[in-house]
Amino acid sequence: MATAELTGKHLVLGMSGGIACYKIAELTRLLTKADATVQVVMTEAATQFITPVTMQALSGRPVYTSQWDARVPNNMAHIDLSREADAIVIAPASTDFLAKLAHGMADDLLATLCVARDCPLLVVPAMNRQMWQNPATQRNVAQLRADGIEVLGPDSGPQACGEVGDGRMLEAAATYEAIASFFQPKILAGRRVLLTAGPTFEPLDPVRGITNRSSGKMGFALARAAQQAGADVHLIAGPVALETPWGVIREDVQTAQQMHDAVMRAVPDYDVFIGVAAVADWRVDHISDHKIKKTAERAIPAFNFVENPDILAAVAKLPHPPYCVGFAAESGDLDVHGEEKRVRKNVPLLIGNLGPLTFGLDDNEVVLFEASGATKLPRADKRTLAGALIAEIAKRLPDTSLIR
């Protein structure tokens, strides 16, 4: 994990008894790789599913399982262990443990830690679908939410018991994302952000086409950062092989025309539009309905091109446009082309990068162009840069942008 979003955070990772304990080994790796410190506390039942030895080796700290553990000098592990914590995360959170939490019970070390805490509490439920749907569990979860406890998931799908439905624990990577998101300032709370990302693919025939080298990494990182900042995020993506950021609604398209149509359908519901996709300027005027054959007699094919719609300009031209942010990838003279493009597209903010040099890379260097001048942001990995760009965009949003 190349970003500093969890650097220095201290988490108490509380494990209760369920099959999903196996996912916590991976979660612990992800958290420690992100430079968080992880103090594992396990219920008696959790130690039946995965050993404290494994969890100690992965977290690099002794694991606590009993409130009668004499290793804590004052014998008050139930208070001391969470004193320095930025949050307690219960993963997996069993049906039983959710019930205990909802009733403020304190009959083992982990439950007592939660009652005695002075920090946020996040729970990641994991159980069979009938246990999840049980009215008692639903009552307990509603009570936990009312008490200000964050409930992450659960997911839906095949379960260890062979059934299919709601209740399975989020995967380790999604749990990591949800925890990272929890710690980010909610500077876009209440905002709705629509983004495009990736290249487009313009077919020539059923098997060939023209595309470009945009990887989609910058747009996906921005979607992730906007979600973490508290926005509702809708990402319209060209053909890329990237995981959908946690909590983001994704719509896949292929061509510039499809991307244009998807954006125009969605945009009335959004306050902010960020056009990051590298949209093809042209497409062929006629797509062959069969594969164009290479034969001895046939000449090398020639194609006529027609212009694709300009998505950013079309959004900016709407009678009540959202706050529009464009991206420009230039191979030279960025200072001239960046501001010229911003004015031509009629958008308040245009983010310029030296595109062909950054396509596919994990880091980037950008310049912000706006009417008051140009500002360069320091080179950073795309996730860190995305966080910085979202902060810059948030600063510039008009207060009235929710009322369109």
Ligand X SMILES: Cc1cc2nc3c(=O)[nH]c(=O)nc-3n(C[C@H](O)[C@H](O)[C@H](O)COP(=O)(O)O)c2cc1C
| 81 contacts ligand X (rule: CB under 6 A) | no
Catalytic residue among 21, 114, 119, 161: 161
Q: Which of 14, 18, 209, 219 binds ligand X (CB under 6 A)?
A: 18
Stretch of residues binding ligand X (CB under 6 A), selected from 43-51, 65-73, 194-202, 354-362: 43-51
Work out whether 97 is an interface residue with ligand X (CB under 6 A).
Answer: yes
- Phi first, then psi: what are they for 297, rounded to 5°? -80, -30
Q: Is 345 annotated as a binding residue?
A: yes
Task: Note the maximum CA span of the chain.
Answer: 91
- Give dist(CA 163, CA 341) in Å, integer: 55
Is 144 a binding residue for ligand X by CB under 6 A? The answer is no
Residue type, 210: I
Binding residues with ligand X: total (CB under 6 A)? 15
Q: Find the part of the chain contacting ligand X (CB under 6 A) among 126-134, 202-210, 249-257, 293-301.
A: 126-134
Establish if 256 lies at the interface with ligand X (CB under 6 A). Answer: no
Q: Which is nearer to ligand X, 3 or 128 (CB)?
A: 128
> Which of 11, 81, 123, 127 touches ligand X by CB under 6 A?
127
Packing angle, helices 382-396 and 217-228, rounded to 10 = 60
CB 274 within 8 A of CB 300: no
Q: Which of 3, 28, 32, 43 binds ligand X (CB under 6 A)?
A: 43
Q: Please state, as a whole number, how many other Cβ atoms lie within 10 Å of the Cβ of residue 87.
A: 20
Contact 73, 95 (CB under 8 A): no
Nearer to ligand X, 94 or 212 (CB): 94
259-280 core/surface letters (b: 16 or more CB in 10 A; e: else) = bbebbeebbeebbbbbbbbbbb
Q: How far is the CB of 45 from ligand X (least distance, A)?
A: 3
- Residues listed for the chain: 404
Burial class (CB in 10 A: 0-12, 13-18, 19+), 151: middle
Stretch of residues binding ligand X (CB under 6 A), selected from 91-99, 212-220, 284-292, 334-342? 91-99
Annotation says 161 is catalytic: yes
Which one, 131 or 195, has the nearer CB to ligand X?
131
- Residue 256 CA to its chain's centroid (Å): 24
Measured CA to CA in angstroms, residue 103 lies from 39, 80, 138, 333 at distances of 24, 22, 13, 64
CA distance 132 to 161: 13
Q: What is the pattern of x (binds ligand X, CB under 6 A) and - over residues 44-73?
A: -xx---------------------------
Residue from 3, 16, 37, 384 that binds ligand X (CB under 6 A)? 16
Minimum separation from the CB atom of position 44 to ligand X (A): 6
Quick one: which segment of 13-21, 80-88, 228-236, 341-349 binds ligand X (CB under 6 A)? 13-21
Complex with ligand X: residue 26 or 392, whichever CB lies closer: 26
Nearest approach in angstroms of CB 74 to ligand X is 25
* 71 to 51, 80, 109: CA distances (angstroms): 19, 11, 13
List residues near ligand X by CB under 6 A: 16-20, 43, 45-46, 94-97, 126-127, 131
Residue list, annotated binding site for CTP: 281, 291, 309-312, 327, 341, 345
